[in-house]
């Protein structure tokens, strides 16, 4: 096994790193803690690891100081938890002069396929001069569960499919600075493409039928590998029927009783407890997300109907029946994922008069964001309904700003509580400012933290 490991280590040092499109995510390290990349499968976690390696190399780190192992490599099948130490033995037999002298950067892809890997990583961080980076989203253990296993010894960073700005990076379209007419039209055309293809990196640029086929395969893998196999579900049809119902109803309210009744109407013997588990597992796999009503009481929030969204709006169009999902629901889903990149604390809001605002994004260091989504405000009745609901929420929450996201319309509306910005979706997505593409190696954070459940992003309201 030592000779095999040596061969794998040396082989990796000779290949060109497949770094793809630089992600707009700045990773900060903490001494003595592993860095973990979590997210839905096929969102680019492994590629992001290669980007981190490239930034280290660009900063002057020797290629020999980077140890990379993909535990899906069939040559590593013989590795067991009791002999993971052979990895270090193989590496330092190649470079004995580096032990306890130079920092070794250890990148472990899908290490969770080895049962009991956590003590090895813990010992590695305690006894060696090294930095550890981990990804994983296999059937054996979901990526979020890796972070849970390493709680207190890791910082976790979420990787989502491409944001609109990252899609523009892929298209090599500059969206910074003032927009000329030509630049604006170029960005708007790119948005229409992003609207069709979504954010999964692998499907960008593919023709429609091939993209749909790949996204359907993604969805099936998420359901069967990350949920059915992982949780050993004896009747997978109930899970798939539930998943497809949820996809058909993105942006809609649901209750556990309603979902349980639906499955039972199809002949599934799924109790309410099982349906609750399925929903939790969808969220653990970063496939579907539940949004509760905004309420100081968690019990009241849980008792009220919830809304459901998918990790990628184009995935919805590829796997839904096409009967119930409309463009308004897809737009709402798109805005949800943009907000979710900023914070996991997203609710919908109900005013005292019973009017609904689609999203209130709760941020730790900034005022809450109130966002209403309306495909078009051309109809006067629709316009009045959306503005009234948002204005009431602004007054009740003492917020001076609100946003209505549309497909194409743009204006400012003065209400008693303050200003409502009506923005087209493409501009709203651009204003959700991500950190610029990283050009330096992961930075060391000034203090320790056990678990970071969302990315370090900044929000602009231009």
Return the pLDDT at 261: 97
Listed residue (458, 453, 455, 462) closest to 434, CA to CA: 458
Q: Which domain holds residue 51?
A: 2-159
Q: What is the C-alpha to C-alpha distance for residues 423 and 205, in angstroms, rounded to an integer?
A: 27
Q: What is the DSSP string of 199-233?
A: S-GGGTT--HHHHHHHHHHHHHHHHIIIIIITTT-
pLDDT tens, residue by residue, 67-93: 999 988 888 877 766 688 899 999 999
Return the pLDDT at 119: 84
Q: Tell me: do 313 and 362 sit in the same domain.
A: no
pLDDT tens, residue by residue, 255-287: 999 999 999 999 999 999 999 999 999 998 899
Q: Is the pLDDT of residue 462 over 50?
A: no
Average pLDDT in the chain: 88
Whether 183 is covered by a domain: the verdict is: no
pLDDT tens, residue by residue, 361-394: 997 777 899 999 999 999 999 999 999 999 999 9
Q: Is the pLDDT of residue 436 over 60?
A: no
Return the pLDDT at 74: 85
pLDDT tens, residue by residue, 380-433: 999 999 999 999 999 999 999 999 999 999 999 999 999 999 999 999 999 986
Q: Tell me: do 267 and 345 sit in the same domain.
A: no
Listed residue (281, 263, 269) closest to 227, CA to CA: 281
Confidence band of 445 (pLDDT split at 50, 70, 90): very low
Report the pLDDT averaged over residues 152-181.
92
Here the CATH number for the domain that contains residue 283 is 1.10.10.10
Return the pLDDT at 279: 95
Return the pLDDT at 455: 38
pLDDT tens, residue by residue, 90-140: 999 999 999 999 999 999 988 877 777 888 888 898 899 999 999 866 444
Higher pLDDT, 133 or 443: 133
Pairing of strands 418-424, 411-415: antiparallel
Torsion sign over Cα 377, 383, 389, 392? positive
Domain boundary among 325, 341, 368: 325
pLDDT tens, residue by residue, 340-360: 998 999 999 999 999 999 999
Q: What is the C-alpha to C-alpha distance for residues 355 and 84, in angstroms, rounded to an integer?
A: 57
Q: Is the pLDDT of residue 229 over 60?
A: yes
Whether 300 is covered by a domain: the verdict is: yes
Here the CATH number for the domain that contains residue 29 is 3.40.50.300
pLDDT tens, residue by residue, 198-217: 999 999 999 999 999 999 99
Q: Are 238 and 223 in contact (CB under 8 A)?
A: no
Q: Is the pLDDT of residue 337 over 60?
A: yes
Report the pLDDT averaged over residues 44-66.
95
Confidence band of 452 (pLDDT split at 50, 70, 90): very low
Q: Tell me: do 131 and 262 sit in the same domain.
A: no
Domain boundary among 114, 140, 159: 159
Whether 179 is covered by a domain: the verdict is: no
Q: Are 452 and 158 in contact (CB under 8 A)?
A: no
Q: Please tell me which of 148-152, 153-157, 425-429 the model is most confident about, judged by mean pLDDT.
A: 425-429
Q: Are 369 and 428 in contact (CB under 8 A)?
A: no
Domain boundary among 325, 344, 366: 325
Q: To the nearest whole percent, how much of the chain has pLDDT over 90? A: 68
Q: Tell me: do 298 and 398 sit in the same domain.
A: no
pTM exceeding 0.85: yes
Q: What is the C-alpha to C-alpha distance for residues 290 and 301, in angstroms, rounded to an integer?
A: 12
Return the pLDDT at 447: 35
Q: Is the pLDDT of residue 36 over 90?
A: no
Return the pLDDT at 322: 76
Whether 399 is covered by a domain: the verdict is: yes
Give me 317's structure tokens: 């169009």
């Amino acid at each position: 096994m030592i000779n095999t490991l040596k061969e794998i280590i040396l082989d990796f040092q000779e290949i060109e790193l497949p770094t793809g499109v630089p992600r707009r995510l700045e990773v900060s390290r903490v001494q003595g803690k592993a860095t973990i990349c979590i997210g839905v499968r096929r969102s680019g976690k492994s590629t992001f690891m290669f980007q981190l390696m490239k930034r280290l190399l660009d900063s002057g780190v020797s290629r020999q100081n980077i140890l990379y192992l993909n535990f899906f490599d069939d040559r590593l099948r013989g590795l067991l938890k009791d002999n993971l130490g052979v990895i270090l033995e193989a590496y330092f037999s190649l470079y004995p002069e580096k032990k306890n002298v130079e920092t070794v950067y250890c990148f472990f892809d899908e290490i969770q396929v080895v049962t009991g890997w956590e003590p090895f990583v813990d010992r590695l961080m305690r006894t060696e001069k090294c930095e550890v980076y981990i990804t994983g989203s296999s059937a054996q253990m979901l990526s979020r569960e890796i972070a849970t296993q390493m709680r207190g010894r890791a910082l976790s960073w979420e990787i989502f499919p491409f944001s609109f700005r990252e899609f523009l990076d892929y298209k090599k379209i500059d969206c910074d600075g003032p927009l000329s007419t030509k630049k604006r039209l170029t960005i708007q055309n790119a948005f229409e493409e992003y609207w069709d293809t979504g954010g999964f990196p692998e499907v960008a640029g593919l023709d429609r039928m091939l993209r749909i086929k790949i996204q359907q395969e993604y969805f099936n893998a998420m359901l069967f590998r990350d949920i059915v196999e992982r949780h050993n579900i004896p009747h997978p049809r109930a899970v798939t029927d539930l998943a497809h119902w949820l996809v058909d109803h993105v942006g809609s309210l649901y209750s556990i009783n309603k979902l349980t009744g639906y499955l039972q109407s199809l002949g599934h013997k799924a109790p309410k407890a099982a349906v609750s588990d399925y929903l939790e597992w969808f969220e653990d796999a970063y496939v579907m997300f539940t949004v509760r009503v905004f309420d100081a009481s968690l019990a009241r929030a849980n008792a009220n109907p919830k809304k459901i969204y998918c990790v990628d709006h184009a995935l919805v169009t590829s796997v839904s029946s096409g009967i119930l999902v409309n463009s308004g629901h897809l737009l709402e889903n798109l805005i949800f994922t943009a907000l979710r990149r900023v914070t996991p604390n997203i609710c919908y809001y109900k005013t005292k008069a019973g009017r609904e605002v689609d999203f209130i994004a709760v941020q730790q260091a900034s005022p809450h964001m109130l966002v209403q989504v309306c495909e078009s405000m051309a109809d006067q009745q629709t316009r009045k309904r959306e503005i009234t609901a948002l204005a009431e929420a602004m007054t009740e929450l003492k917020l001076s700003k609100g946003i209505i996201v549309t497909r194409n319309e743009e204006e400012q509306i003065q209400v008693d509580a303050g200003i409502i910005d009506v923005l087209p979706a493409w501009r709203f997505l651009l204003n959700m400012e991500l950190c610029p593409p990283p050009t330096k190696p992961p930075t060391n954070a000034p203090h320790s933290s056990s678990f970071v459940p969302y990315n370090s992003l900044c929000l602009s309201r231009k």
